[in-house]
Amino acid sequence: MRSQDVPECVEMIAAHPIVGPRYGRAISDLRPAWLRLLSSDGFCSTAIIEEVVEGARSRMLGVGVSVVLSDDFLRELKAPPFFWMGPELAKRVARGDDSALLTQEQIREANSFGGLNLAIWQGFVRAEDSNRAEFWSELMEVFLDNHRGFLFKEIVIQGESTVHLEALGHTGGLLLGRDGRYGDFEGIGAEQLVREPHIVGITRELALQQFGSWISSLFRYQPPRFGFTRREQRLLLSALVGGTDEELSCLLNTSLSAVKKTWRSVYGRVAARLPELIPSHAPPDGDVSKRGRDKKQHLIAYLREHPEELRPVSRRLLRQVAASGDSTRGDSA
């Protein structure tokens, strides 16, 4: 999501027959709240799903927005009587109250030890497109790609249509009861549930009992091995979508020499911890540029399978946890 996308996103939500009424007057808080978080890098993840129609302007179909909740706000959210999370977050953030969300520094620390509470603020498809299964599939695939590799302890969401609720149930989501326990959706119709405040979610412990489910894959975690700096992570995240060093330089608004220096730092860090990952020998034809491409391709392929290397962490705290051998972090291969 870019700042210029926010007005259309808010209009789309306001027009939705189910989600719009949940906001009521708080819909006026949504635009300033999201713009404020975008300017402060306060989101965990944002994604826009568009449909490109030949010969016409692309059409926005859906939006995914997730944030990391503080323990205090999660307890408030889960305590009956339940309330609509999106409007409450919009009101608080718009007036400058960020106590419901973790700062970037707090995210780095919790993602290194203890774990994160992830909330899907909106996982949204236009009402007229909500029965097109391919778009829900696309939104869920993007969500999975954007959130693998984090150390989560709980994930919560509120269903935005009957189709959405049914999909959440099929992918491993559980319904929070008023006794504070998660359970199946049995006996509660989606038509009824979507009209009243509710919590669909799952904890780490419950997810890891659902081996093979879509939702359980988000809780499989191992600590990063390389300890990349934020600058290195920014370069690598950009490199995942391809591009030459010159293109990465433009994208990151930095000099070509700085990009090359960062690559050297990245390769040095990898060689010190996992030397077999990147080829150290020259190709038979002596093509040095090919050797460089091979190193990059090997590393990018590894990072696609190990996204934890690109997630925000406190390197200091990771070192302390590793030294102590503390098992409370909940590592799971």
Question: pLDDT digits over 91-124, tens only?
Answer: 999 999 989 999 999 999 999 999 999 999 998 8
Give dist(CA 275, CA 268) in Å, integer: 9
User: HSE of 326 in the Cβ direction (CA atoms, 13 Å)?
Assistant: 14
- Does 54 score more than 70 pLDDT? no
Please state, rounded to an integer, the average pLDDT across all residues of the chain.
Answer: 87
Residues with Cβ < 8 Å from 149, sequence gap 6 or more? Answer: 221, 306, 307, 308, 309, 310, 311
pLDDT of residue 154: 97
Quick one: tokens of 233? Answer: 């992570």
Q: What percent of the chain has pLDDT over 70?
A: 92
Residue 212 or 326, more confident: 212
Residue 59 or 283, more confident: 59
Q: What is the DSSP letter of 112?
A: T
Place of tokens 């009101």: 91
Q: Which domains does the chain have, with CATH numbers?
A: 3-219 (3.40.630), 230-305 (no CATH)
- Does 52 score more than 90 pLDDT? no
Cβ-contact 152, 218 below 8 angstroms: yes
- Does 199 score more than 90 pLDDT? yes
Write the DSSP assignment of 77-101 as a string of letters.
HHSSSP--HHHHHHHHHHTT--TTB
pLDDT of residue 281: 56
pLDDT of residue 332: 45
Name the pTM for this structure.
Answer: 0.88
Quick one: tokens of 147? Answer: 């959130």
Question: pLDDT digits over 127-172, tens only?
Answer: 788 777 777 777 778 888 889 999 999 999 999 888 888 888 888 8
- Does 285 score more than 80 pLDDT? no
pLDDT of residue 59: 83
Band (282; pLDDT cuts 50, 70, 90): low
